[in-house]
């Protein structure tokens, strides 16, 4: 239970915790988003990947308002329920906007941020994002959405589209999804955006990651985040769409692990200097 919401999550591994926040595609869940990354990161740290309210297998309370306030409250309540005082966080797309806003509002609860193909600033609505948010359940429509997600079309099979379609028609799933981002959809990009002056005061070390061929969230968004966040670095994957964590799973996991390991080493107490011989 997280703030009164029965929340489905994956909690694996040991070490400093990292939260994985999924995107907002139809039929998405934490496992669908992070299934290739969790086994790598859990080797060295505690990995917590929740289904945010309205998505996956988490409950969808009647009358709930789907907005940043609700999702941030759920995330903080989940951390409290799991006795996680502070965590690193990786946010994908919608999850990147959520992670950014949460860190701005509650900076002490987060150590380092990874924003992957993230929203979080305003940009013109893309055809890809309009298609994803405007999804109506059918296998053909799910396949169309997934074609926008991936640069490598070999990753998009009819079988995968069928699985994601079936996830999108679980009881209550489409009702919640269609309530989140109804047309006109440009306003929801603005609703997920944080004020740029607050982004520019973000104190956290931040890794910004994007696929060069992303057709859902433009690469320019990550350029802007990199310009705004003082302690940031930017990594762009070529031949990659909106699925960095899937299309370049191994490279992404190693990049993130190295980024978090810097903070691990900095937190370790310094070894006492050896006395000189003689």
- Residues catalogued as catalytic: 93, 214, 242
* C-alpha span between 242 and 139 (Å, rounded): 20
Q: How far from the centroid of its chain's Cα atoms is residue 126's Cα? A: 19
Strands 9-12 and 47-50: antiparallel
Q: Report whether the peptide linkage leading into residue 32 is cis, meaning its omega lies within 30 degrees of zero.
A: no
Q: If residue 50 lies in a helix (H) or strand (E), which one and from where to where?
A: strand 47-50
Coil, helix or strand at residue 276: coil
In three-state secondary structure terms, 210 is strand
Q: In whole angstroms, what is the distance from residue 119 CA to residue 117 CA?
A: 7
Q: Residues 142, 177: contact at Cβ < 8 Å? A: no
Cα–Cα–Cα angle for 275, 263, 49, rounded to 5 degrees = 145
């Amino acid at each position: 239970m997280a703030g009164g919401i029965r929340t489905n999550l994956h909690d694996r591994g040991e070490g400093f915790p990292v939260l994985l926040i999924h995107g907002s595609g139809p039929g998405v869940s934490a496992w669908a988003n992070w299934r290739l990354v969790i086994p790598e990161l859990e080797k060295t740290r505690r990995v917590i990947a929740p289904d945010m309210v309205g998505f996956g297998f988490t409950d969808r309370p009647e009358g709930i308002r789907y907005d940043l306030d609700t999702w941030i409250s759920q995330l903080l309540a989940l951390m409290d329920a799991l006795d996680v005082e502070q965590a690193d966080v990786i946010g994908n797309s919608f999850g990147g906007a959520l992670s950014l806003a949460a860190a701005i509002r509650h900076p002490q609860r987060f150590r380092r941020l990874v924003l992957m193909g993230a929203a979080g600033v305003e940009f013109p609505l893309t055809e890809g994002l309009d298609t994803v948010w405007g999804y109506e359940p059918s296998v053909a429509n799910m396949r169309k959405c997934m074609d926008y997600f991936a640069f490598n079309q070999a990753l998009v099979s009819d079988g995968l589209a069928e699985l994601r379609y079936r996830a999108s028609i679980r009881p209550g799933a489409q009702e919640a999804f269609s309530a989140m981002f109804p047309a006109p959809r440009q306003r929801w990009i603005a609703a997920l955006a944080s004020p740029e002056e607050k982004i520019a005061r973000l104190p956290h070390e931040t890794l910004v990651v994007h696929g060069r061929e992303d057709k859902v969230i433009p690469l320019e968004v990550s350029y802007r985040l990199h310009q705004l966040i003082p302690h940031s670095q930017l990594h762009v994957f070529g031949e990659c769409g909106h699925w960095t964590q899937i299309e370049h799973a191994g490279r992404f996991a190693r990049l993130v692990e190295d980024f978090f390991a810097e903070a691990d080493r900095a937190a370790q107490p310094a070894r006492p200097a050896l006395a000189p011989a003689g």
